[in-house]
Structure 1
Amino acid sequence: MASTKMLITLLQILILICLKQPSSAASSDLFREYIGAEFKGVKFSDVPINPGVEFHFILSFAIDYTADGSSSTDGNFNVFWDMYNLSPAQVAAIKQSKSNVRVALSLGGDSVGNGLVYFNPSSVKSWVSNAVTSLTRIIKEYNLDGIDVDYEHFSADPDTFAECIGRLVTTLKSQGVISFASIAPFDDDQVQKHYLALWNKYGSSIDYVNFQFYAYDSSTTVSQFLGYFEKQSSNYPGGKLLASFSTDSSSGGLSPAKGFFSACRTLKKQGKLPGIFVWSADDSLKNSFSYERTSQNLLASSG
């Protein structure tokens, strides 16, 4: 009897140990795409959606600037994406017709009007209060599921950025306004300082890292890409780091034509590929989204 109890206890301990161990393979079925920033008339229904992936559209961008883009507004966000083709009704339609689709909005971006977008809060308290109020309104109007953070220029120090964004994400999640959040850093000293400060304090509240691998040089090789992926995985430990490419004509990185999908297949075999994201649907429209189809087929495949 004693030996039986001891055996049961040992089994319980082993089960608990196994449950606490991280999985050796990451789920590889998330596809995300930015949409609407370039006003090229692209619609949700234009983009091919594989039923075998989890698909996130990311509306680009909501910006805390005045509607004419002339000055920052301390967290009072306005919509700057193509509202005609990507309206609340169209969000509802694509989510109703495709059960695997969720829709988010991205904050910030690189530029607005003729100038750069700066993260420029007057204080943590005022920015967070304004951001929670204005974004809640937009998210509910459009029936959105999450936010992405893509500030690329800063008038505030890393700690202020971390507190503002961290408190925003945690507040929106705790209030049930969003179910997921992501960040979109790239390999620049100032950018990384801000996002790493955020990650180090609030990383547990951030679901995905949309790392902009297309910000690397256009001469990037497969082996270099894999090295960059490993480096950024160590910078954002425990995060779901997504591979990425751009379909515009000005970005760099490892392109689909030069081995991006080969690199992704390697990462997938190693259990290191949570998903892929693309910048952007606006630019892919001209090529009928051929790379989007390949990306989703790769993610949906069992091999």
Structure 2
Amino acid sequence: MELIKVFFIALLILQVLFPCNASIQAPKNSNLFREYIGAEFNNIKFSDVPINSNVEFHFILSFAIDYDTSSSPSPTNGKFNVFWDSENLSPSQVSSIKSQHSNVKVAVSLGGDSVANGNAYFNPSSVDSWVSNAVSSLTSIIKQYNLDGIDIDYEHFNADPDTFSECIGRLIKTLKNNGVISFASIAPFDDDQVQSHYKTLWKNYGDLIDYVNFQFYAYDEGTTVSQFMNYFKTQSSNYDGGKVLVSFISDGSGGLSPNDGFFTACSKLKSQNELHGIFVWSADDSKANGFPYEKRSQALLAIPH
């Protein structure tokens, strides 16, 4: 009897020292496909984009920006406004595409590269005021448009990484706790300032971030499959434990092109159980050639591994 008691005590100690690794396993293959839409005002509609019923599909509206052009043009400290093509991508259009396709969810991306012919800066007056304003203004937009999640795509900063981390981390946490969103993603790229901000956010709030939309198309045009695989390995290390999605840009202006090996790289990652999803910038550009790479991406993701 005493031996059994000792055995169970030893087992409990081992469980504490070496917990089951199920919760810390690396992410596996996924059928997630995501596409940014609405930034270029070329009359793109949700219904223009092919949707494979065998994938999880996220549209990402681009962008909501804490900026106000109606007064003196200046940042508005977390008071977000709609800067996507809201005439063609309206609340009723969101409801329509979601009702037609049960596998579709719609998110909104925050920030982006530019606004009003200048850079879109992350420039809070204070953490508390920015978070309060952002929670209020985004909750209003998200409810009006019946959205499911947010994406963080600030690319220019007038604040240090810790301030960015605290503002964005608290925003995501509050929106999730309030039941306003069900998922959140970040969209970094390989730039020292950008990475310092997003890696700090990941370190402090990574458990709240569901996807990493890494902008692999920001690497040089003409990237090879071998280089791409190394980039993916590096960014998977930078965002350790995260679902790092691979990506391409529709106009072929950067990174590994769909014509030059992108799908070869995706197949390699899938064989290694590391294809966590694919995202595209953007539907606006893809419209001109009929979305062939969106169709191919979704077909690949839909194949069981």
Q: Give the TM-score normalised by the residue count of structure 1.
A: 0.93
How far off its partner does 1:67 sit? 3.5
Asked if structure 1 preserves the Cα contact closer than 8 Å seen for 2:222 and 2:257, the reply is no
Asked if structure 1 preserves the Cα contact closer than 8 Å seen for 2:69 and 2:116, the reply is no
How far off its partner does 1:18 sit? 5.5
Of the three residues 35, 40, 48, the one matched with 2:42 is: 40
CA distance in 2, matches of 1:178, 1:88: 16
**Per the alignment, in what secondary structure is the counterpart of residue 237 of structure 2?**
helix
Asked if structure 2 preserves the Cα contact closer than 8 Å seen for 1:128 and 1:167, the reply is yes
* Residue matched to 2:93: 90
Amino acid corresponding to residue 268 of structure 1 in structure 2: K
Q: How many pairs align?
A: 298
CA distance in 1, matches of 2:118, 2:243: 32
Of the three residues 57, 60, 73, the one matched with 1:58 is: 60
CA distance in 1, matches of 2:68, 2:251: 27
* Residue matched to 2:237: 234
Asked if structure 2 preserves the Cα contact closer than 8 Å seen for 1:219 and 1:253, the reply is yes
**Per the alignment, in what secondary structure is the counterpart of residue 282 of structure 1?**
helix
* Residue matched to 2:227: 224
Asked if structure 2 preserves the Cα contact closer than 8 Å seen for 1:185 and 1:192, the reply is yes
**Per the alignment, in what secondary structure is the counterpart of residue 62 of structure 2?**
strand
Provide the identity percentage: 68
Moved more, 61-70 or 289-298: 61-70
The gaps in structure 1 that reach 5 residues or longer are none
CA distance in 2, matches of 1:256, 1:216: 14
Amino acid corresponding to residue 126 of structure 1 in structure 2: S
Asked if structure 2 preserves the Cα contact closer than 8 Å seen for 1:173 and 1:179, the reply is yes
Is residue 2:155 matched to residue 1:124? no
Amino acid corresponding to residue 27 of structure 1 in structure 2: N
CA distance in 2, matches of 1:87, 1:104: 13
Is residue 2:260 matched to residue 1:258? yes
**Per the alignment, in what secondary structure is the counterpart of residue 257 of structure 1?**
coil
How far off its partner does 1:25 sit? 6.3
**Per the alignment, in what secondary structure is the counterpart of residue 264 of structure 1?**
helix
- Where in structure 2 are the equivalents of 1:275-286 lying within 5 Å? 275-286=277-288
CA distance in 1, matches of 2:214, 2:248: 10
Asked if structure 2 preserves the Cα contact closer than 8 Å seen for 1:214 and 1:246, the reply is yes
* Residue matched to 1:151: 154
How far off its partner does 1:19 sit? 6.4
**Does the C-alpha gap of structure 1 residues 121 and 52 become closer, same or farther in structure 2, counting only changes over 3 Å?**
same
Q: 1:153-191 CA deviation, whole Å, 9 max, x = no partner?
A: 000000000000000000000000000000000000000
CA distance in 1, matches of 2:260, 2:217: 13
Asked if structure 1 preserves the Cα contact closer than 8 Å seen for 2:216 and 2:246, the reply is yes
* Residue matched to 1:27: 29
**Does the C-alpha gap of structure 1 residues 2 and 163 become closer, same or farther in structure 2, counting only changes over 3 Å?**
same
CA distance in 2, matches of 1:149, 1:233: 18
CA distance in 2, matches of 1:280, 1:262: 21
* Residue matched to 2:275: 273
How far off its partner does 1:70 sit? 2.5
**Does the C-alpha gap of structure 1 residues 161 and 21 become closer, same or farther in structure 2, counting only changes over 3 Å?**
closer
The gaps in structure 2 that reach 5 residues or longer are none
